[in-house]
Every structure is written in structure tokens, then in C-alpha cells.
């Protein structure tokens, strides 16, 4: 007769489908790349979606309806949550333009934490404002106004959340500034990166959309403080540009 030794565990062969892989999600997951909005993209007509009546003359077209932005933000949140996998991070909102993206992105990280079961990513929130100015030699310089003490980030993982990278000067200067506080790791998520000849070549770690070199407003992006009350990301019209030039709300 044959005796079975039930105490001896079997060693499954590699790739056995019934055995959960011991590799971390972050090693298996491929983060997404920026969604490209081509230069010749004409956008959507204003009357295809709902736009506030006070802006009908001020917008040329809808570049990205709010729903599409949120679907892309969901994927960025997944990429980010999987990157941190069981580590915590401090989310640093660059005000004011970044507030919508920040709120919606972190909502989806919270959702990931509620639903994923196996892993979760604790985070805290900090807020900064940046005044950028350009000195005589055209090098970017920033003054960072922190609402919290930036000493908080020492030794921590930091995720900077920004609305748009245009020339890249502000972000490069901010990253340089944050080095003073010796964070453990700094990642940058920007909803938009503009294709512009004025770019210094800086590329964030997480990008929602790469856009044509046009002035964008809405979803918290402003023009002289206007258009923060617009949900969709739109291209400003010449009328809007003239109407609100040097006329902050
Ligand atoms: N819109 C709003 N704010 C900006 C932009 C833009 O296109 N580029 C840099 N800051
Ligand atoms: Mg901004």
C-alpha cells in the first residue's frame, strides 16, 4: 500500500495559476502614459455640453469635458496607489489651480483604499501656494507659501499635485526648494503638460493629458481668477481674453 504524507507541503511549479504571485503589484503594474491631445484636435462645440451662460462668448471650444477628465484621473489614481503600495505619502496640493485635480485624484485613491482589500495607501494632505517670478537672467524662481510647515515632509514620500506644466520653470524651482527639507522621495502628478517650445524639458512622473499650446481654462485653471467656476477644460476665446485682461474678478 502507498502511504501519503499529508504533512509534506507541495511546492507548486512556477506560474501555477492557483497560486498567488508573491511579486508586488507595483512590479507587475505598468503605469499609463499621458493621453495625447493632438495639435489639430478641434475640440467639442460649446452647445454639445452645458456651459455657464456668463461664459458663452468667452470660450472658443471645449477641449476636455469634465467626465473625460475624471475618467483619466481615475486611472492616474490607480497608477499612484499601486506605486505607493502599502507605503504612506504626503499629497502636496499646489494652489489654486491644482485644487480640483487634487480633490478628485485623492477621492479616487480613497476609493482604491476602500475597495482594493489587499493593500492600501495612507496619505495626508498639505497645501502650498507658489508665486513664481522671473529674474533678469530669465531663470525661474519661486516663493513658496506653505499653509503647513514644510518640515512635515522630512524623510517622507511626497506627491506634488499640480494643474499644468507649461514652461516647467515653476516645477523645477519648487523641486529644488523642497530638497531643503530632505524628503524621502518626491513624485509629481500634473493633470496637463503643454507642448510648447518654451518648455525646459521637465516631465512629471504622472501626466493626465499632453495638450496643444493653447491657453486652457476651467476645472480650476484660471485666467485672471476667472473660469474657476467652469467644469470643463476649454480654450479661451479672443473675446474672453480681451474682456478679462487686467480685470481680475
Ligand atoms: N491655463 C491656465 N493657467 C496656466 C496655463 C493655462 O493654459 N499655462 C500655465 N498656467
Ligand atoms: Mg497653476
Give the residue numbers marked as catalytic: 166
Complex ipTM:
0.96
Q: Which three cell numbers stand for residue 194?
A: 503643454
Look over the chain and give the mean of its residue pLDDT values, rounded to a whole number: 89
For residue 195, how far is the Cα from the chain centroid?
17
CA of 163 from ligand 2 middle (Å) equals 6
Instruction: Report how far residue 201's alpha carbon sits from residue 179's, in angstroms, rounded to the nearest whole number.
Output: 20
Q: Give the model's pLDDT for residue 186.
A: 98
CB of 199 shorter than 6 A to ligand 1: no
Q: Give the model's pLDDT for residue 132.
A: 66
CA of 105 from ligand 2 middle (Å) equals 17
Among 166, 204, 224, 230, name the best residue to mutate to test ligand 1's pocket (greatest count of ligand atoms within 8 A of Cβ).
166
Q: Which residues pair with 158 in a beta bridge?
A: 90, 186
Q: Which residues of the chain have pLDDT under 50?
A: 8-11, 13, 15-19, 135-138
CB of 216 shorter than 6 A to ligand 1: yes
For ligand 1, what atom is nearest to the CA of residue 97? 3
Instruction: Report how far residue 233's alpha carbon sits from residue 231's, in angstroms, rounded to the nearest whole number.
Output: 7
Identify the residue whose cell numbers are 516645477: 171
For ligand 1, what atom is nearest to the CA of residue 223? 2
Q: Give the model's pLDDT for residue 131.
A: 79
Model confidence pLDDT, tens digit, residues 48-64 = 999 999 999 999 999 99
Instruction: Report how far residue 135's alpha carbon sits from residue 120's, in angstroms, rounded to the nearest whole number.
Output: 44
CA of 83 from ligand 2 middle (Å) equals 25
What percent of the chain has a predicted confidence (pLDDT) above 70? 86
CB of 166 shorter than 6 A to ligand 1: yes
| pTM of the complete model | 0.87
Model confidence pLDDT, tens digit, residues 37-96 = 999 999 999 999 999 999 999 999 999 999 999 999 999 999 999 999 989 999 999 999
Instruction: Report how far residue 54's alpha carbon sits from residue 57's, in angstroms, rounded to the nearest whole number.
Output: 8
CB of 94 shorter than 6 A to ligand 1: no
Amino acid at each position: 500500500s502507498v502511504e501519503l504524507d499529508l504533512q509534506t507541503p507541495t511546492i507548486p511549479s512556477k506560474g501555477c495559476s492557483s497560486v498567488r504571485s508573491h511579486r508586488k503589484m507595483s512590479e507587475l503594474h505598468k503605469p499609463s502614459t499621458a493621453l495625447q491631445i493632438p495639435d489639430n484636435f478641434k475640440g467639442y462645440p460649446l452647445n454639445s455640453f452645458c456651459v455657464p451662460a456668463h461664459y458663452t462668448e468667452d470660450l472658443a471650444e471645449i477641449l476636455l469635458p469634465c467626465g473625460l477628465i475624471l475618467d483619466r484621473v481615475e486611472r492616474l489614481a490607480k497608477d499612484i496607489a499601486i506605486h505607493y503600495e502599502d507605503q504612506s505619502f504626503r499629497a502636496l496640493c499646489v494652489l489654486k489651480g491644482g485644487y480640483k485635480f487634487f480633490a478628485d485624484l485623492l477621492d479616487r485613491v480613497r476609493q482604491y483604499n476602500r475597495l482594493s482589500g489587499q493593500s492600501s495607501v495612507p496619505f495626508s494632505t498639505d497645501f502650498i501656494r507658489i508665486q513664481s517670478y522671473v529674474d533678469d537672467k530669465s531663470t525661474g524662481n519661486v516663493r513658496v507659501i506653505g499653509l503647513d510647515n514644510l518640515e512635515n515632509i522630512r524623510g517622507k514620500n511626497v506627491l506634488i499635485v499640480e494643474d499644468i506644466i507649461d514652461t516647467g520653470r515653476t516645477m523645477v524651482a519648487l523641486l529644488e526648494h523642497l530638497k531643503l527639507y530632505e524628503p524621502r522621495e518626491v513624485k509629481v502628478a500634473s493633470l496637463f503638460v503643454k507642448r510648447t517650445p518654451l518648455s525646459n524639458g521637465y516631465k512629471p512622473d504622472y501626466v493626465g493629458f499632453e495638450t496643444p499650446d493653447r491657453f486652457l481654462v476651467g476645472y480650476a485653471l484660471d485666467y485672471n481668477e476667472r473660469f474657476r467656476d467652469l467644469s470643463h477644460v476649454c480654450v479661451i476665446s479672443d473675446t474672453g481674453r480681451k474682456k478679462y485682461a487686467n480685470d481680475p474678478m
